[in-house]
């Protein structure tokens, strides 16, 4: 009985050891790597399957696209053949452009037949508006002509004045008047400058010295009110009360007496 027990124990130990040897042999055996030829074949199959899927997607997309007529295709060819930017020289001679300027608008600004008036804003609240105003003023400064700058951010009366002249409640800035005639905004001035029309229009205006800056206001066109010193209040000795100063605007400023006359 003892011998049979030993035999069974030995058989069990032999089975366990053979199992572990077999598992170690399975895990220790390196996995065979595919050859370069097999790898190239698998890549080729993947690429062919990708191209077939791509072709099916394109075919499916064409089902939802409306077919273009021959007229649409001809229009597309004509648009592609046109230049992206139209040269100002193709607009015709400068004389014809000047004629268009004279007939451009019937809007007049009374009392400004001898000057250039620009309604603008010096505030940077709206970037595009400020950049347009700045660009227009730089163009005029390049010609060194004196400009009657009417900054609506410094005096709200100029906004009301512009609205009455144009008949628009929300007029875009800047707005330019030359010799009392309404020219337009920034785009109109830039176009006139590019074609040379602006230089002809400004002939006859007095030219300032290079680097001239008004000593009184520093080219701001406004100074503190001399009557109330910018406080907007004056003392009425007869009645013994403070009253609103009538010589300045809502900011306590008045037009520069040296450069704005």
Cα distances from 233 to residues 157, 240, 244, in angstroms, run 19, 13, 5
* pLDDT above 50 for 66: no
- Cα separation, 153 vs 166, in Å, equals 18
* pLDDT above 90 for 237: no
Model pLDDT for residues 129-146, shown as the tens digit of each residue: 999 999 999 999 999 999
Model pLDDT for residues 160-202, shown as the tens digit of each residue: 999 999 998 888 999 999 999 999 999 999 999 999 999 999 9
**H helical segments located in 89-155:** 94-102, 127-143
Domains delineated in the chain: 106-212 (3.40.30.10), 216-260 (no CATH)
Residue 238 or residue 50, greater confidence: 238
SS3 177: strand
- The length of the chain in residues reads 261
* pLDDT above 80 for 19: no
With tokens 């009557």, the residue in question is 227
The answer to whether 198 touches 192, Cβ cutoff 8 Å, is yes
Rg of the chain over Cα atoms, rounded to whole angstroms, equals 42
**pLDDT at 2 (0 to 100):** 47
% of the chain surpassing 70 pLDDT: 60
**pLDDT at 159 (0 to 100):** 95
């Amino acid at each position: 009985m003892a011998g049979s027990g030993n035999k069974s124990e030995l058989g069990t130990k032999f089975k366990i050891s053979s199992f572990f040897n077999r598992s170690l042999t399975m895990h220790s055996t390196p996995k065979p790597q595919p050859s370069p030829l097999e790898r190239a074949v698998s890549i080729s199959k993947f690429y062919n399957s990708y191209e077939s899927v791509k072709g099916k997607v394109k075919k499916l997309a064409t089902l939802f696209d409306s077919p273009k007529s021959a007229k649409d295709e001809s229009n597309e060819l004509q648009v592609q053949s046109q230049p992206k930017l139209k040269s100002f020289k193709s607009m015709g001679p400068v004389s014809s452009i000047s004629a268009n300027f004279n007939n451009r608008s019937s809007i007049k600004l009374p009392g400004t037949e001898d000057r250039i008036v620009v309604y603008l804003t010096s505030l940077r609240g709206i970037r595009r508006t400020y950049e347009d105003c700045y660009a227009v003023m730089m163009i005029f400064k390049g010609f060194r002509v004196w400009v009657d700058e009417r900054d609506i951010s410094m005096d709200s009366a100029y906004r009301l004045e512009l609205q009455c002249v144009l008949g628009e409640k929300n007029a875009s800035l800047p707005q330019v008047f030359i010799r009392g005639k309404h020219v337009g905004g920034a785009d109109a001035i830039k176009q006139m400058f590019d074609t040379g029309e602006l230089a002809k229009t400004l002939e006859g205006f007095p030219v300032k010295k290079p680097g001239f800056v008004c000593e009184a206001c520093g080219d701001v066109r406004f100074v503190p009110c001399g009557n109330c010193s910018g406080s907007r209040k004056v003392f009425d000795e007869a009645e013994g009360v403070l009253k609103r100063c009538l010589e300045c605007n809502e900011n306590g400023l008045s037009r520069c007496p040296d450069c704005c006359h």
